Amino acid sequence: MKIKIKAFGSARKHIPGYEPESGMELELPAGSTIKDLLGHLNIPPDKGIAVSMDGLIAGSDIEIKDDATIVLLNPLAGG
Amino acid sequence: MKLLRINMGSKTVTEENVPEKYAELGGRGLTAVMINSEVPPTCDPLGPENKLIFAPGFLSGTSLVNSSRISIGAKSPLTGGIKESNAGGTVAAFLGKLGIKAVVVEGKPDGGELFLLRIDENGNAALLSAENYKGIRTYAVTEKLLQSYGEKNAVMCIGPAGEYQLASASIQTSDVDGHPSRAAGRGGLGAVMGSKGLKAIVIAQPGKRNDDEMADPEAFKEGATAIAKFIKEDVFTGIMLPEQGTASLVAAVNSMGAFPSYNATKGMLEGWEKISGDALAETIKKRGGETTHLGCAQCIVRCSNRFVDEGGEYVTSALEYETIWSMGGMTGISDIDIIARLDFLADDIGVDTMNTGVAVAVAMDAGHKSFGDGRAAIEMLEEIARGTEFGRVLGNGPEAVGRHFDHHRVPAVKGQSIAAYDPRGMQGNGVTYATSPMGADHTAGNLVGSYLGGVLNPLEAEGQVEASRNAQIKIAYFDCTGLCMLVASALASPESVDALLKVINAKLGTKMGHDDLTTMGLKVLGVEKEFNRKAGLTNKDDRLPAFFHEEPLPPHNKVFLISDEELDSTLN
């Protein structure tokens, strides 16, 4: 399945060559989870990157939907 | 330590030893208790009976990092209830080092004269004429005062909006660079300062820290070292905030569909990526400005920035998330240069960026100007400075603008605008807006970290009241310490709270434990609610405007789900 990825803040450092304007597209096997995606991108779980899928925060076991937009975000506490 | 009482009616300054009952209080806790016991709750907020209290936290002035936050308290002309507005800069560290627990400004001059309060390096205070500063904006006043008294002084001052006694007027404090760019913005306390004829307070940089005030200096040092380590090692305070400041939240909250935009009719701003933390940091660096900037005394986080124009000239400092939202998201403006200019203007005129951005948005929503019209927004703020009829309406905040245009969609509680989290997209923040004794206030109990961390679903009612309650209690005690709320997340583990207790007990000579901090937070909230009740506020004031219950917010198309009964249970 195909997904779209947008990355912000420190998450960008984990994606070499990331283009902020266009984001990136990725092919993943059907049934992949958020944890699988982070593994695919070599983002260690202890970096605290928050992930949203189609506007909803998604935990590591959530299954990714086909054609989803995934946003990788800084962990934040509020300002 | 001592209290300074400044009577603006008799033009006298008196010093008092701190009464025993106030000894363990500081910051918000001290202003709350003093206002509740000394200010008649039904008084005119702009009359002589109101008191304006400047109180550093009880850890301010010590060697502890990130402890230079000042609480300014009074009865608010905006909310009609008690108010604590909290600002950074250098003033809290200076007052703490001078051994001044609070400056209490009382009474009111008869003849409309204008004064400045000078506090010298020995902590002695004197009232001086400020007639030659009448009508002058905050950057110019601060520059002149620092020229006169020396660049190392700290300044708190009001601009034209405070002199006009407008309900959105702020009190600006100087940062490490001497810019009046840190604001006690909320609740219109600049109007209270203006009503008292006080244009500015100038505080000399103190000499050596007075450790006589410390019950156990060795234990304090151990605890303070541990706290600095927790802050440095935390991902949020050690990496994220230094890199992008609070502007990181633009991406997060838009991605969650909870960024109130176009006067809270949408949950995402078109073009928000142009004003994200990444875009802001890139622009600043490209132009030779500064990220990871030191704004407040003793700060090791450095969430501040120095925004410059294309020619590299200073525009404003600490362009922050809430202002990017109020002057950008709410107004539909996605031009970071316009937003930065609006931030500067608000600081310079002396108005709360949030209440004012939302007031502009309500005017745009009512058809006065179009969303996205940056030039019109700048002109509207200039009208506040000129004191035109519309400028005064705008400077009195979103409810005044709503009444002016007979427009129903006014995102405010107790007269104070919401912050950059829509209650329909982050239900628990709606609980905080509704029930905080301060009016709609994100700093009173913000749950965005819980939503991003996936521990609470922002779109469902379940768990929101309890989460808001706990956050409100925690921040209420945190605001007593003088610590910046941005380091609260780094001080959440039991070990880090032990370190916090160690410095508190070492400073105050107490034996507090974890439960005592909760008790402190509950006490502060209880006193604030008691004052509000005596001032005439009821549970009917602890409600969000009807449109949040009736108009679904795209993209999730949710309304605010928390019932009145649940809201009433939050702090009762």
CA dist list (Å): B134 to B34, B108, B160, B381: 30, 17, 8, 19
Mean predicted confidence (pLDDT) in B319-348: 98
- Substitution target in B452, B468, B558 with the highest count of A β-carbons within 10 Å is B452
Mean predicted confidence (pLDDT) in B14-24: 94
Band of residue A45 on the pLDDT scale cut at 50, 70, 90: confident
B18 falls within a domain: yes
A78 falls within a domain: no
A50 falls within a domain: yes
pLDDT at position B230 over 60: yes
CB distance A57–B489 less than 8 Å?
Answer: no
Q: Which residues contact B492 (CB under 8 A, 6 or more apart)?
A: none
B158 falls within a domain: yes
In angstroms, how far apart are the furthest CA atoms of chain B?
A: 62
Cβ of residue A19 closer than 8 Å to a chain B Cβ: no
Nearest to B113 by CA among B198, B173, B45, B1: B198
* Residue B331 DSSP one-character state: T
Q: So what's the pLDDT on residue B212?
A: 64
Of B240, B453, B458, the CB nearest to A9: B240
Band of residue A10 on the pLDDT scale cut at 50, 70, 90: confident
Cβ of residue A33 closer than 8 Å to a chain B Cβ: no
Q: Which alpha helices (DSSP H) does B266-418 contain, by range? A: 277-287, 321-324, 336-349, 353-365, 374-386, 389-395, 398-405
Q: Which residues contact B14 (CB under 8 A, 6 or more apart)?
A: B4, B5, B7
Give the minimum alpha-carbon distance from B446 to chain A in angstroms, rounded to a whole number.
7
Q: So what's the pLDDT on residue B209?
A: 65
B132 falls within a domain: yes
Residue B290 corresponds to which tokens in the numbers above? 């500064």
Of A20, A57, A71, the CB nearest to B454: A57
What's the mean per-residue pLDDT of chain B?
Answer: 97
Helices (H) and strands (E) in chain A, counts: 1, 5
B509 falls within a domain: no
Give the minimum alpha-carbon distance from B564 to chain A in angstroms, rounded to a whole number.
26
Tell me if B421 sits within 8 A of B471, measured CB to CB: no
Of A56, A57, A75, the CB nearest to B235: A75
CB distance A76–B240 less than 8 Å?
Answer: yes
Q: What is the CATH number of the domain that holds B23?
A: 3.60.9.10
B204 falls within a domain: yes
Nearest to B71 by CA among B50, B92, B90: B92
pLDDT tens profile B511-563: 999 999 999 999 999 999 999 999 999 999 999 999 999 999 999 999 999 99
A59 falls within a domain: yes
Band of residue B145 on the pLDDT scale cut at 50, 70, 90: very high
Contacts of B244 in chain A (CB under 8 A): 9, 74
How many angstroms separate the CA atoms of B195 and A39, rounded? 60
Q: So what's the pLDDT on residue B358?
A: 98
pLDDT at position A65 over 60: yes
Residue B157 corresponds to which tokens in the numbers above? 């001052």
Cβ of residue A52 closer than 8 Å to a chain B Cβ: yes
Range of the domain at B122: 2-212
Cβ of residue A55 closer than 8 Å to a chain B Cβ: yes
Give the minimum alpha-carbon distance from B86 to chain A in angstroms, rounded to a whole number.
13
Q: So what's the pLDDT on residue B210?
A: 61
For A46, the closest chain B residue by CA position comes to B235
Nearest to B525 by CA among B474, B488, B486: B474
Band of residue B572 on the pLDDT scale cut at 50, 70, 90: confident
Cβ of residue A22 closer than 8 Å to a chain B Cβ: no
Top-confidence residue, A14 or B437: B437
pLDDT at position B275 over 90: yes
pLDDT at position A78 over 60: no
pLDDT at position B442 over 70: yes
B188 falls within a domain: yes
pLDDT tens profile B389-399: 999 999 999 99
Tell me if B86 sits within 8 A of B70, measured CB to CB: yes
A79 falls within a domain: no
Contacts of A74 in chain B (CB under 8 A): 236, 240, 244, 248, 251-252, 277
> Whose structure tokens read 């003793």?
B298
Mean predicted confidence (pLDDT) in B163-171: 98
Mean predicted confidence (pLDDT) in B200-204: 98
User: Is the ipTM above a cut-off of 0.90?
Assistant: yes
Residue B401 CB-density burial (10 A; 0-12 exposed, 13-18 middle, 19+ buried): buried
Mean predicted confidence (pLDDT) in B67-72: 98
Band of residue B330 on the pLDDT scale cut at 50, 70, 90: very high
Q: What is the CATH number of the domain that holds A19?
A: 3.10.20.30
Contacts of B243 in chain A (CB under 8 A): 9-10
pLDDT at position A77 over 70: no
CA dist list (Å): B257 to B160, B249, B424, B563: 37, 12, 9, 22
pLDDT tens profile B344-358: 999 999 999 999 999
Contacts of B442 in chain A (CB under 8 A): 78
Q: What is the domain count for chain B?
A: 1
Q: So what's the pLDDT on residue B529?
A: 98
Mean predicted confidence (pLDDT) in B389-416: 98
Mean predicted confidence (pLDDT) in B297-323: 97
Range of the domain at A27: 2-73
CA dist list (Å): B548 to B197, B413, B559: 39, 11, 6
A54 falls within a domain: yes
Contacts of A50 in chain B (CB under 8 A): 252, 452-454
pLDDT at position B419 over 90: yes
pLDDT tens profile B498-515: 999 999 999 999 999 999
Q: What is the domain count for chain A?
A: 1
